[in-house]
Amino acid sequence: SQTIHQWPATLVQPVGSPLSLECTVEGTSNPNLYWYRQAAGRGLQLLFYSVGIGQISSEVPQNLSASRPQDRQFILSSKKLLLSDSGFYLCAWHGTRYLWVFGPGTRLTVL
Amino acid sequence: GESVGLHLPTLSVQEGDNSIINCAYSNSASDYFIWYKQESGKGPQFIIDIRSNMDKRQGQRVTVLLNKTVKHLSLQIAATQPGDSAVYFCAENSMDSSYKLIFGSGTRLLVRP
């Protein structure tokens, strides 16, 4: 079965510092991978998706970027964090049309 | 465009009662819908899904109703239990954008003992 790992689980970073969140997937190959963000008390907003190595599509303009260096690895980055980057970041895997799996999430607090 | 969530509305129900959580979806071309449950600090957990060729689907204690005419989806939870307390999200997906799962604004369900 497919498993998604995210780390770190929690992160507290100062404003202006860099960010790197990692997502890895097990049990599948050539997955579609996604980054969602959830601000406190709000719904999930799609940030990036990737259909293959080196292929990144951005859904909203922002302070973040994504990369896919390996088939089962998806990374979310920032050069300089803003307060508004705080939130719960979820990685998701999309297999067949009707199969979506979410990771455990990373809670990011920017101070 | 994206259905970005607003501040969450809350539904408070008595333990043992039935709960009905509603969702209005945005894309008339959406043909696949999922309900997720999210507990604090965790990722969304799949509850039940429905395809657009159906208007009702039942699971264990849960039923999803789909009204394509008014683009409305509902989740019914029978005999609500304290463990059902969580935030519930609907999500929509369409064949023309099958790579995208768009989430609606969630609803917080509080179960009173």
* Phi, then psi, of B19 in degrees rounded to 5: -115, 145
Contacts of A43 in chain B (CB under 8 A): 3-6, 8, 89, 103-106
Task: Please report the residues numbered 2 through 31 in chain A whose beta carbons come closer than 8 angstroms to any beta carbon of chain B.
Answer: none
Residue-wise pLDDT for B54-99, tens only, equals 999 999 999 999 999 999 999 999 999 999 999 999 999 988 777 7
How confident is the model over B38-57, as pLDDT tens digits?
998 888 999 999 999 999 99
* b/e A67-98 (16+ beta carbons within 10 angstroms → b): bbeeebbbbbebeebeeebbbbbbbbbbeeee
Helix (H, G, I), strand (E, B) or coil at B83: helix
Kind plus residue range of the DSSP H or E element containing B75: strand B72-77
The dihedral over CA atoms of A94, B33, B30, B98, expressed in degrees to the nearest 10, equals: 10
| Contact pairs from chain A to chain B, CB under 8 Å | 68
Q: Which tokens belong to B106?
A: 């969630």
- Residues contacting A5, CB < 8 A, separation 6+: A23, A24, A25, A26, A103, A104
pLDDT tens digit sequence for A8-65: 999 999 999 999 999 999 988 888 999 999 987 778 899 999 999 999 999 887 889 9
- pLDDT of B83 reads 96
Chain-chain contact of B46 with A49 (C-beta, under 8 angstroms): no
Mean pLDDT for the stretch of residues A79-104: 90
Q: Which among A94, A103, A107 is the nearest to B99, CB-wise?
A: A94
pLDDT on residue B108: 94
B3 vs B26 pLDDT, higher one:
B26
| Nearest Cα to Cα of residue A38 among A87, A101, A97 | A87
